[in-house]
Chains A and B, each alone.
Chain A
Amino acid sequence: MKDSHGMTPIVKTVTRVSVWLILLYGCYIILHGHLTPGGGFAGGVVIALAFLNVMLAYGKSFTAEWLNIRLLKDIEAASITLFLVLGLLGIAFGNAFLANFLGKGEMFSLFSSGTIPLFNIIIGIKVALSLFLVVWVLADIDSAKGGDL
């Protein structure tokens, strides 16, 4: 099993469909974090697993073409800054760091509970990208030693 080849065509065909479903599920869990069980961390792990699915099925070189790894690294570093900026906006509008300064909205609706969904989205991006990048770098080490993946 070489780098560029990935797994069998059966796995590749299934992956082609399943990746989008997994990504959709991850986005659903992140966006509904303030309504149903789950949230940023769980949804982020789901999205990281979707990227991992592509990497295992298609190999590293295809994934490097499919995803812009440099951009992912930048977004990963920027997401924590975004978290802090949102916290500082709480000082500006809500008198306290990380204050919930947006309107509470109607309960059980998607756009409710102020900044909680925004924090969920930021944490989701952060967790998804950092977990995926760790696997990416580990796989690099593996292939440098002569292993596959």
Chain B
Amino acid sequence: MPIESWLIYTLGIMLLGSIVALEIRDILSAIIAIGIVGLAVSAAFLFLQAPDLAIVQFLFEIFALVILVRAFIGKKAHADTLSIHKVYAFLVALALVAFFFLFTPVFRSLPPFGEPLLTTSSHYLTHGPQETGAANIVASIVLDYRAYDTMGEVTVLFTAILGALTVLRMSRQTQKGREPK
């Protein structure tokens, strides 16, 4: 079976998971449905032969699930009942379907998946192991050819954590200030 059909199956699972996560009442079930979506993304990366991404996605999904479960379990979630008129919903669905069919010629004219290899990536693929000595081509790109990008990512992570720590510390201090009164 070609990869595309496997991807369509995983996409279907993702769609189902997100619909369940949106519609279900129980908060724990909704979180687990979000987890299904994340794990399906991980499986999709595996089908696309990107094990590095699949591992990171899988682990991060577990991490996010643990945080979500700890944050929301035992708390009362107020469910907003969003009432949309059925005519509007039908119109929106119709517009989306029309949009999709308008773009079918574009989908037809797309080249096959990963077919025209860019000159940069073909250089990485052919010369990467000799130039960097790394057996894992992803590591050689992320940490050698594109190390500058990685530095930016680490900086973003550092700044994000710094911001989160600062904001949370501020809110904790205001809570402590309120307590004695």
Instruction: Please report A residues at the B interface, Cβ cutoff 8 Å.
Output: 29, 33-39, 41-42, 45-46, 48-49, 52, 56, 76-77, 80, 83-84, 87, 97-98, 100, 104-108, 112-116, 119-120, 123, 126-127, 130-131, 133-135, 137-142, 144-145, 147, 149
Residue from the list A77, A112, A120, A134 in contact with B133, Cβ < 8 A = A112
The answer to whether B133 touches A113 (Cβ under 8 A) is yes
Residue from the list A36, A39, A80, A140 in contact with B172, Cβ < 8 A = A140
Distance in angstroms from A72 CB to nearest chain B CB is: 12
Q: Is B18 an interface residue (CB 8 A)?
A: no
The answer to whether B136 touches A141 (Cβ under 8 A) is no
Instruction: Please report B residues at the A interface, Cβ cutoff 8 Å.
Output: 51-52, 54-56, 59-60, 62-63, 66-67, 70-71, 74-75, 129, 132-136, 138-140, 142-144, 147-148, 150-151, 154-155, 157-158, 161, 164-165, 168-169, 171-172, 175-176
Top 8 A-B residue pairs of the complex, sorted by shortest distance between their CB atoms: A104-B133, A37-B51, A113-B134, A98-B147, A113-B133, A45-B59, A34-B134, A130-B161
Contacts of B129 in A (CB 8 A): 107
Q: CA separation between A49 and B61, bound complex, in Å?
A: 11
Q: What's the count of A-B pairs with C-beta under 8 Å?
A: 136
Other 8 A-B pairs with CB < 8 A, given A112-B133, A119-B147, A130-B157: A37-B52, A98-B147, A107-B129, A113-B135, A114-B144, A130-B158, A134-B161, A142-B70
Question: From DSSP, what is the main secondary structure of chain A's interface residues?
Answer: helix
Name B55's closest neighbour in chain A (CB-CB). Answer: A42
Name A100's closest neighbour in chain B (CB-CB). Answer: B144
The answer to whether A149 touches B70 (Cβ under 8 A) is yes
Residue from the list B59, B70, B148 in contact with A49, Cβ < 8 A = B59
